Chains A and B, each alone.
Chain A
Amino acid sequence: NAGVTQTPKFQVLKTGQSMTLQCAQDMNHEYMSWYRQDPGMGLRLIHYSVGAGITDQGEVPNGYNVSRSTTEDFPLRLLSAAPSQTSVYFCASSRGGHEQFFGPGTRLTVL
Chain B
Amino acid sequence: GQQLNQSPQSMFIQEGEDVSMNCTSSSIFNTWLWYKQDPGEGPVLLIALYKAGELTSNGRLTAQFGITRKDSFLNISASIPSDVGIYFCAGNSNYQLIWGAGTKLIIKP
Contacts and interface: CB of A to CB of B under 8 A. Distances in A.
Question: What bracket does the count of chain B residues touching chain A fall in?
Answer: 20 to 34
B88 A31 contact: no
B28 to A, nearest CB: 15
B31 A42 contact: no
6 contacts: A42-B6, A42-B100, A45-B96, A48-B95, A97-B92, A97-B97
B42 A99 contact: no
B45 A42 contact: no
Q: Which 4 A-B pairs rank lowest in CB-CB distance, beginning with the nearest?
A: A42-B99, A102-B42, A97-B95, A43-B99
A102 B99 CA distance: 14
Nearest to B42: A102
Interface in A38-69: 40-45, 48, 50, 58-59
B96 A104 contact: no
Nearest to B95: A97
B101 A100 contact: no
Given A42-B100, A45-B97, A98 B41 contact: no
Interface string B73-109: 0000000000000001010100111111110000000
Contact of A101 (B31, B41, B45): B45
Residue of A40, A42, A101, A102 ringed by the most chain B CB atoms within 10 A? A42
Contacts of B8: none
B51 to A, nearest CB: 13
A43 B95 contact: no
Interface in A62-103: 90, 92, 97-103
Contacts of A102: 42-44
Contacts of A31: 95
